[in-house]
Amino acid sequence: MQHTLSVTVEDKPGVLARVSAMFSNRGFNIHSLAVGPTNVEGRSRITLVVDAPELEQLKKQLHKLVNVIKVQELEPSETLEAEVMLVRVSCDPHSRGEVADTAALFATRMIDLSPKSMTFEISGTPEHLASFLEHVRPYGIIELVKSGRVALKKQSDVSTSLIGGGTR
């Protein structure tokens, strides 16, 4: 079962290596990893998506690591999450309009155009990105790269579809 963890750490050399090594040493696969600064000076947040049957022991072990400040498991129904993807799609001059129309439906941004391809930037939930890929796959995906997933706990029960953010 996949779990999303948010780990707040001191922004020090080696912290990320110790955190990821702890999962690796216990035989757990990290599906996604993102790290970046927080709003607090000197702190970073590591967001991990891991495949593990039970996380309670792992969370306790994470707390024991030097420089770890807070460990929080994010429940799927209570989490806002997003990824960024760059995808190069094959297209000739005849299919370019169809590919562009499809991309527009998913609120992508075209960032490169060549005679044989179009490259798009898209952000959103993992499901949103997967849906976009399914729609452009028939044209041919030349190259693809995704960021690690970032996530925050929801502060509201209001659905984003009610406030204009339903597709992302």
For residue 67, give Cα distances in angstroms to 21, 35, 56, 132: 15, 14, 19, 39
**103-142 tens-digit pLDDT:** 999 999 999 999 999 999 999 999 999 999 999 999 999 9
What is the mean pLDDT of the segment spanning 131-154?
97
**16-49 tens-digit pLDDT:** 999 999 998 988 899 999 999 999 999 999 999 9
Residue 37: exposure state from Cβ atoms within 10 A (0-12, 13-18, ≥19): exposed
* pLDDT classification of 156: cutoffs 50, 70, 90: confident
For position 158, what pLDDT does the model report? 65
- What domains are defined for the chain? 2-74 (3.30.70.260), 80-162 (3.30.70.1150)
**52-109 tens-digit pLDDT:** 887 888 899 999 999 999 999 999 999 999 999 999 999 999 999 999 999 999 999 9
Q: Give the separation between CA 37 and CA 41, rounded to whole angstroms.
A: 8
* pLDDT classification of 160: cutoffs 50, 70, 90: low
For position 95, what pLDDT does the model report? 96
Q: Give the separation between CA 123 and CA 147, rounded to whole angstroms.
A: 9
What is the mean pLDDT of the segment spanning 3-18?
96
C-alpha torsion 126→131→134→140, nearest 10 = -70
> Can you list the alpha helix ranges (DSSP code H) found in 106-139?
126-136
For position 157, what pLDDT does the model report? 72
